[in-house]
């Protein structure tokens, strides 16, 4: 008599199903790595450097950014420093940046007629012009633009959004492949020597399981800068009053100008409208930069703040500062005639979603928790590079001669259903990732069909 089995599949079928699922996950892990690892190396290297942006710029550009502290000496007035900067580099001054520390220079942004925007550095004690660079022309700004692929246009910047989504898929499938299945080695230890493939497999797996959290965190917190997802989320957050406070929109005369068009803003304030100055009671004479700076300092604007100057009769003095501590982030707009604050926004007044996103961005940039934040993310960046290199070496050692070494297609195609559901869900959250997933699915299906037709 045959044994009656209820609720159980024969062991062979269960084993084959598990093997097919493993193959399916392994195949998509391979595809994710193929697409993401080149980006991960570039992002990790540039990101590791940018973690120490202030320290590196201070060394490389020390002749411009560092000054000798002169105790007991009164500092030059901001207007006097602007006069000196414009005399040395003729043009229109558009921004004054306060020295962030006692040994830092002031920075005057001048829109020069022939050279474009320049960052002119001035000794705040003597008023002497130290020199100039193109605006955002420091080494660290170059690294930042390389990190975001800004040099290569908006299309290539979309690739970062795709890479971010695929890196999350890479971590998820990697955890499944790493998950212990009766083996003792390769879980938290590395077996063999560098001459053997198992050494690189274990190095890849163990490094991945420890750095996976950071990859996901950096991918998600990097998304606000992406071309499609970041812009849409910004619209949604601020369009539903989850971002900057409603006072940014109402209560004062508002222009149609967006804040990020006149000054560097936090992500949450990029789309905030800028208020307008209005000359009332015959008061048509601007208060001037020096008085505006005194007002900003009385209001407690953190050192290192930038003051954007009014560009026209209805413009405002915009004081903004985004230091390492989020609690000190602040943007203040002053009426250029009365000198009174029109809008004063701090991090504490952001909506819940904006606060969460700004916190993620601050940690992502190594700012929020000081040197510990920098060192932990530096270790994560080094581990990401090691992860990518070990994957390449492991693939090369496993790859059959004359073949690309793509993991085999599962015998049972039904195992793709669960994986496909996850891919669709991810694609709905991140549209560009969804498009790339669909293209990869179509390409994989076409290649598999071609191989079967050839009997390969």
Query: Are residues 253 and 398 both part of a single domain?
Result: no
Q: Provide, rounded to the nearest whole percent, the portion of the chain with pLDDT above 70.
A: 88
217 in a structural domain: yes
295 in a structural domain: yes
- Residue written as tokens 């993620």? 360
pTM value? Answer: 0.87
Query: Are residues 181 and 38 both part of a single domain?
Result: yes
Query: Are residues 67 and 214 both part of a single domain?
Result: no
- CA distances (Å), origin 380, targets 22, 265, 346, 366, 374: 27, 28, 31, 12, 10
Q: Which residue has the higher pLDDT, 426 or 355?
A: 355
The phi, psi pair for 418, rounded to 5°, reads -65, -45
Nearest residue to 31 via CA among 446, 456, 442, 440: 440
Q: How confident is the model at residue 18 (pLDDT cuts 50, 70, 90)?
A: low
Average confidence (pLDDT) over 17-43: 85
What CA–CA distance (Å, rounded) separates 392 from 125? 54
Average confidence (pLDDT) over 25-47: 90
Query: Are residues 107 and 156 both part of a single domain?
Result: no
Query: Are residues 343 and 396 both part of a single domain?
Result: no
Radius of gyration, alpha carbons of the chain: 28
Query: Are residues 127 and 217 both part of a single domain?
Result: no
Q: Across 27-36, 244-253, 438-447, which has the greatest mean pLDDT?
A: 27-36
pLDDT in the model for residue 2: 39
Per-residue pLDDT reduced to its tens digit, 310-320: 999 999 999 99
1 in a structural domain: no
Q: Which of 137, 161, 195 is the last residue of a domain?
A: 137
Q: Provide, rounded to the nearest whole percent, the portion of the chain with pLDDT above 90.
A: 48
Query: Are residues 313 and 271 both part of a single domain?
Result: yes
Q: Which of 107, 137, 167 is the last residue of a domain?
A: 137
235 in a structural domain: no
Q: Across 350-359, 409-418, 439-448, which has the greatest mean pLDDT?
A: 350-359
Query: Are residues 169 and 304 both part of a single domain?
Result: no
Per-residue pLDDT reduced to its tens digit, 170-206: 998 899 889 888 777 778 889 988 888 889 999 999 9
Q: Which of 335, 350, 365 is the last residue of a domain?
A: 350
Q: Across 36-45, 157-166, 426-435, which has the greatest mean pLDDT?
A: 36-45
Strand partners, 66: 104
116 in a structural domain: yes
Query: Are residues 335 and 296 both part of a single domain?
Result: yes
CA dihedral 345, 347, 351, 356 (to 10 degrees): 150
Per-residue pLDDT reduced to its tens digit, 117-146: 999 999 999 999 999 999 999 999 999 999
Are the C-beta atoms of residues 198 and 186 closer than 8 Å to each other? yes
The whole domain housing 100 covers 62-137
Q: Please state, as a whole number, how many other Cβ atoms lie within 10 Å of the Cβ of residue 33.
A: 23
Query: In whole numbers, what is the pLDDT of the chain averaged over residues?
Result: 85
Q: Is the pLDDT of residue 279 over 50?
A: yes
Are the C-beta atoms of residues 268 and 358 closer than 8 Å to each other? yes
266 in a structural domain: yes
Domains identified in the chain, total number: 3
Query: Are residues 327 and 250 both part of a single domain?
Result: yes
Query: Are residues 411 and 318 both part of a single domain?
Result: no
DSSP per residue, 331-345: EEEEETTT--EEEEE
User: Tokens for 280?
Assistant: 């009332």
Q: How confident is the model at residue 456 (pLDDT cuts 50, 70, 90)?
A: low
153 in a structural domain: yes
Q: Within the chain, what is the greatest distance between any pair of CA atoms?
A: 107
303: region left, alpha or beta (phi > 0 left; psi from -120 to 50 alpha): beta
CA dihedral 143, 144, 148, 153 (to 10 degrees): -80
39 in a structural domain: yes
Query: Are residues 266 and 307 both part of a single domain?
Result: yes
**Residue 119 sits in a domain of what CATH number?**
3.10.450.40
């Amino acid at each position: 008599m045959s044994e009656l089995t209820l609720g159980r599949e024969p062991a062979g079928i269960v084993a084959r199903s598990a093997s097919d699922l493993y193959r399916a996950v392994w195949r998509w892990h391979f595809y994710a790595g193929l697409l993401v690892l080149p980006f991960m190396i570039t992002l990790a290297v540039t990101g590791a450097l940018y973690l120490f942006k202030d320290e590196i710029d201070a060394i490389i550009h020390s002749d411009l950014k560092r000054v000798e502290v002169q105790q007991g000496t009164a500092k030059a007035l901001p207007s006097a420093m602007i006069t000196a900067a414009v005399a040395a580099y003729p043009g229109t001054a558009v921004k004054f940046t306060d020295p962030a520390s006692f040994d830092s220079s002031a920075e005057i942004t001048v829109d020069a007629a022939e050279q474009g925007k320049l960052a002119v550095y001035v000794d705040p004690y003597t008023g002497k012009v130290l020199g100039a660079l193109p605006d955002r022309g420091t080494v660290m700004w170059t690294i930042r633009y390389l990190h975001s692929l800004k040099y290569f246009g908006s299309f290539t910047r979309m690739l970062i959004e795709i890479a971010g989504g695929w890196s999350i898929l890479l971590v998820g499938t990697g955890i499944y492949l790493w998950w212990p299945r009766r083996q003792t080695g390769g879980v938290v230890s590395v077996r063999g020597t560098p001459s053997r493939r198992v050494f690189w497999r274990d190095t890849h797996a163990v490094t991945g399981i420890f750095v996976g959290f950071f990859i996901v965190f950096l991918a998600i917190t990097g998304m606000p800068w992406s071309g499609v997802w970041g812009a849409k989320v910004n619209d949604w957050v601020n369009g539903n009053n989850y971002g900057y406070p409603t006072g940014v929109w109402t209560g004062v005369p508002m222009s149609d100008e967006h804040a990020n068009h006149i000054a560097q803003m936090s992500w949450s304030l990029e789309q905030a409208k800028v208020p307008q100055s209005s000359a009332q009671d015959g008061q048509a004479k601007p208060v001037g930069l020096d008085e505006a700076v005194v007002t900003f300092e009385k209001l407690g604007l953190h050192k290192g703040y930038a003051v954007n100057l009014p560009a026209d009769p209805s413009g405002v003095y915009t004081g903004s500062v985004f230091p390492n501590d989020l609690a000190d982030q602040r943007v203040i707009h002053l009426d250029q005639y009365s000198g009174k604050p029109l809008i004063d926004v701090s991090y504490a007044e952001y909506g819940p979603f904006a606060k969460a996103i700004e916190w993620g961005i601050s940690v992502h940039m190594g700012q929020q928790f000081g040197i510990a934040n920098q060192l932990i993310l530096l270790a994560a960046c080094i581990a990401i590079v090691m992860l990518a290199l070990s994957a390449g070496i492991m693939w090369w050692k496993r790859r059959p001669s004359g073949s690309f070494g793509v993991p085999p297609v599962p015998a049972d195609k039904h195992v793709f259903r669960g994986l496909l559901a996850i891919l669709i869900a991810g694609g709905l959250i991140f549209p560009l990732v969804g498009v790339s997933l669909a293209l990869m699915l179509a390409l994989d299906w076409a290649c598999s069909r071609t191989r079967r037709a050839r009997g390969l």
